[in-house]
Amino acid sequence: MRTQVAIIGAGPAGLLLGQLLHRHGIDNIIIEKHTPEHVLSRIRAGVIEQVAVDLIDEAGVGARMRRDGLVHHGTQFCVDGVRHRFDFRELTGKSVMVYGQTEITKDLMDGRAAAGLPTDYAAYDVALHNIFGAHPTVTYRGDGRSHQVECDFIAGCDGFHGVSRKSVPSGAIKTYERIYPFGWLGLLTDRPPVSDELIYVRHELGFALCSMRSPTRSRYYLQVSLADDINDWPDERFWDELRLRLDGKANADLVDGPALEKSIAPLRSFVAEPMRFGRLLLAGDAAHIVPPTGAKGLNLAASDVRYLSQALVERYKENSDIGLDHYSARALARVWKAERFSWWMTTLLHTFPDGQFEQKMQSAELDYLFKSRSAAAAFAENYVGLPF
Ligand SMILES: Cc1cc2nc3c(=O)[nH]c(=O)nc-3n(C[C@H](O)[C@H](O)[C@H](O)COP(=O)(O)OP(=O)(O)OC[C@H]3O[C@@H](n4cnc5c(N)ncnc54)[C@H](O)[C@@H]3O)c2cc1C
């Protein structure tokens, strides 16, 4: 098979890129390791920046998000039992959209199917060849057959554990990483959220987050030890622990219920540089990971895709390689700012082992954030998303 762009991975990055390229008349195929059902079963992001919302609209799949998504004009911090609110509109004139990653993925999959675009799910043994040459290829197995795709470019959108980044010679890539000494235990339940805004909780027992996916579906997180097993956390223990970390009002308003999904995720900061290797271009989690505290992972995948789709459109419509040549530098400039913000929020709100000095620094930083309008505005500006 021959196409212009072979996209590896049908997560948000790959699906959004495929849709944007199609709207500009650029042929693409998506090759995905898992089944669509598996891809849709992963419960992840929920907070979408305005610039990412606009991009989803531009891809032509924003209607359901506009109808069902929840526009949030602020967020709250609960520190040692006291609530503080940041008003995004007043501080930045902007807001964010709460709409589940699963829903965005579904909208993109539906849009792709409606346009009749090719997607090969359940592909295994995916391999990239000749990425530094003029004619790269992708081979894989599926449906009991071997497949080969010839293309002009390969977009590596296959997440942190994918094959694309691993296909680059080790001397050509530099990586930066920080692993945090705790994880997030997440629980999804069909119960109304405790508040109509997210509540970020800093407590001596550990961080907690009250989030949501809709007016009837809530998502809660607890900071837990990396040594913990999911079987250590029956639903009852989860709710008891969450109540200990919440303030009185949240305790009174919390409606608990059975878990629809429950999992423990490690927290990591990671960046691979550069993001272009010949005709292979990385986007999204394939190139970088942020701890979820700043709600930036999906949003960064969207901003990479914006730069990459524009670069490919320039290549095919204007015969210009300028966008491709600058793709890595442009994307990384935004990636590092989101890395800084995610690291800062994680450091600010979690409990660190043996961290008496760090705890004092957290208290000083939080006090400054609550009392200085400039500090609050800087937080809000990063949270709602920096401009492209
Ligand atoms: C608990 C949690 C909460 C989060 N909360 C937020 C949030 O609130 N806001 C936010 O912006 N982000 C959040 N994130 C991060 C966000 O989910 C990711 O950044 C986002 O999924 C990245 O999209 P992606 O398309 O780059 O990668 P992925 O979603 O990982 O998609 C990659 C795809 O590639 C496929 N693949 C892998 N290997 C191969 C292969 N060898 N061949 C073919 N296909 C392959 C995978 O199956 C997958 O479908 C959260 C993440 C977690 C874990």
38-69 tens-digit pLDDT: 999 887 888 999 999 999 999 999 999 999 99
Give the Å distance between the CA of 266 and the centre of ligand 1.
14
Residue 212's pLDDT band (cuts 50, 70, 90): very high
Q: In what order do the strands lie in the sheet with 96-98?
A: 47-49, 96-98, 70-72
Residue 307's pLDDT band (cuts 50, 70, 90): very high
Give the Å distance between the CA of 108 and the centre of ligand 1.
14
Tokens of 85: 């609110």
Q: Residue 45 has what pLDDT?
A: 83
Distance CA 89, CA 84 (A): 16
Q: Which of 37, 42, 44 most suits a substitution to test ligand 1, by most atoms within 8 Å of the C-beta?
A: 44
142 has a pLDDT exceeding 90: yes
Residue 228's pLDDT band (cuts 50, 70, 90): very high
Tell whether omega for the bond before 12 is within 30 degrees of 0, i.e. cis: no
Q: Which of 149, 285, 296 most suits a substitution to test ligand 1, by most atoms within 8 Å of the C-beta?
A: 285
Give the Å distance between the CA of 285 and the centre of ligand 1.
6
Distance CA 39, CA 375 (A): 39
CB of residue 297 inside a 6 A radius of ligand 1: yes
- The answer to whether the CB of 17 falls within 8 A of the CB of 283 is yes
Give the Å distance between the CA of 220 and the centre of ligand 1.
19
CB of residue 44 inside a 6 A radius of ligand 1: yes
Which is the closest atom of ligand 1 to the Cα of 31? 43
Tokens of 220: 């809660």
Give the Å distance between the CA of 291 and the centre of ligand 1.
12
Q: Residue 158 has what pLDDT?
A: 98
Which is the closest atom of ligand 1 to the Cα of 162? 38
- The answer to whether the CB of 84 falls within 8 A of the CB of 76 is yes
Closest CA to 303 of 387, 188, 367, 187: 387
Q: Name the residue at shortest CA distance from atom 53 of ligand 1.
A: 44
pTM attached to this predicted model: 0.95
Which pLDDT tens digit goes with each residue over 159-185? Answer: 999 999 999 999 999 999 999 999 999
Which is the closest atom of ligand 1 to the Cα of 286? 26
Distance CA 120, CA 10 (A): 9
- Of the chain, the percentage scoring pLDDT greater than 70 comes to 100
CB of residue 158 inside a 6 A radius of ligand 1: yes
CB of residue 34 inside a 6 A radius of ligand 1: yes
Q: What are phi and psi of 58, to 5 degrees?
A: -60, -30
Residue 107's pLDDT band (cuts 50, 70, 90): very high
CB of residue 47 inside a 6 A radius of ligand 1: yes
Averaged over 83-92, what is the pLDDT?
97
CB of residue 102 inside a 6 A radius of ligand 1: no
CB of residue 281 inside a 6 A radius of ligand 1: no
Q: What are phi and psi of 133, to 5 degrees?
A: -95, -175
Average pLDDT, the chain: 96
- Number of Cβ atoms within 10 Å of the Cβ of 16: 32
Tokens of 295: 């709600």
Q: Name the residue at shortest CA distance from atom 9 of ligand 1.
A: 295
Closest CA to 387 of 345, 327, 338: 338
CB of residue 51 inside a 6 A radius of ligand 1: no
